[in-house]
Homo-oligomer: A and B are copies of this chain.
Amino acid sequence: MALTRVKGRNPRELRPVTIERHYLKYAEGSVLISMGDTRVICSATVEEKVPPFLRNSGRGWITAEYALLPRSTQERTVREATRGRISGRTQEIQRLIGRALRSVVDTAILGERTIWLDCDVLQADGGTRTAAITGSFVALADALAGLVAAGTIPRLPLQDFLAAVSVGLVNGELLLDLDFEEDSHASVDMNVVMTGSGQLVEIQGTAEKQPFSREEMAAMLDLAGEGIASLIAIQRQVLGPLADQVGTGHE
């Protein structure tokens, strides 16, 4: 039996997406991204140093941190600061976000500085990690544009657009951009990160309930590609003229 999506959403449709740019006063870049009821603040901070393994390399670094506000979730989530340690889930997500954004930055143009991407989830209704990646791209673009404007770096070190979305199999049906309820019934859950040119950056597919076939995987990738194209169109629109500088900085 097919599942009826909230508010009559089509299986191949994204939830309503908004990206509010310049959301925070102090950060070098920041957005509030909403995908349906999922809301994430993404901020970008420039730090004038790099981790030890990059010192004297001439290259920069992009890293991410991710956290849930306690009442972003249906049941209150205990703060990781209170438990004194960061969960495996959180670490997995922040490693994913950092790795994904790094893939479209020319770190030699960035030079020996680090961009910190902080993704704080105000409300978690599924797809927080993919929303965090899509939103962080815009915050990152603003932070990097600030470095260009200040003359610190010669040009925007973004080689391409980047966005992410989830797809899944729920009751045998292929769905785009799963909300929390859908995700908890999915037999397969896949997060896909792609560039503006449609290349893959990261794919993480997990059989939550039963293994899946090569054919199902291909169909999920097709659908993810459509969703990501839509998200990148929104990023372009939000960034306005800055969008045109993305991908022009290749050496």
**Copy number in this complex?**
6
Instruction: Tell me how many residues of A have a C-beta within 8 Å of chain B.
Output: 62
Q: Check A103–B70 contact: CB distance below 8 A.
A: no
Q: Check B70–A43 contact: CB distance below 8 A.
A: yes
Other than the given A84-B85, A86-B88, A160-B211, 17 more pairs (CB < 8 A) read A24-B71, A25-B37, A25-B125, A26-B71, A26-B74, A65-B79, A67-B81, A70-B118, A85-B85, A87-B91, A88-B88, A199-B213, A201-B207, A202-B207, A203-B217, A204-B205, A218-B218
Query: Can you list 27 A-B pairs with a CB-CB distance of less than 8 A?
Result: A24-B71, A24-B122, A25-B123, A26-B71, A26-B74, A26-B123, A27-B71, A69-B118, A69-B120, A70-B116, A70-B120, A79-B81, A81-B81, A81-B85, A88-B95, A89-B95, A92-B95, A103-B207, A195-B211, A199-B213, A200-B217, A201-B206, A203-B205, A203-B217, A204-B204, A204-B205, A217-B221
